[in-house]
Amino acid sequence: MQGEELATRTRVMLVEDQPDFRRLMVALLDRQPDLEVVAQAGSLTEAREHAAVVRFDVAVLDLGLPDGNGADLISYLRVTNPDVAVLILSASLDPASLERAAQAGASEIMDKLSTPGELIGAIRRLGTAESPDTV
């Protein structure tokens, strides 16, 4: 049974520059039996390094990163992990930034003020999708 459970887990990569928020996200997601955080990054550079070697189903990206915009990572993720779904989780509600993320191919965009249940639900939904849909 344990092998079956692992086979159905949604593998998540978190890209968030705030270490405390990233730790909270890991704690939240790791409590879910069907979700597994397989990589964490605090910058675009770190995220690219992980994406080159780690397979994941859903990437949760912040837009405001120290070395660029999270939207700049989406096309790279689609090359290294073609079936990846991308959830933008950002405190920025700047329409231009959100439009940029949508045009880059974000599967879904959420505010960081979303409830834990909404976030977990979105990750589960995106992790079980056949192919990445964009907003």
Residue pair 11/36 in contact (Cβ under 8 Å)? The answer is: yes
Distance CA 21, CA 74 (A): 21
Question: Which residues of the chain are under the pLDDT cut of 50?
Answer: 1-6, 131-134
pLDDT of residue 5: 47
pLDDT per position as a tens digit, 17-50:
999 999 999 999 999 999 999 999 999 999 999 9
Q: Which fold has domain 2-128?
A: Rossmann fold (3.40.50)
Q: pTM of the full predicted structure?
A: 0.88
Q: 91-115 burial, b for 16+ CB within 10 Å, e for fewer?
A: ebeeeebbebbbebbbbbbbeeeee
pLDDT of residue 85: 97
Distance CA 57, CA 115 (A): 21
- DSSP per residue, 39-51: EEESSHHHHHHHH
pLDDT of residue 8: 80
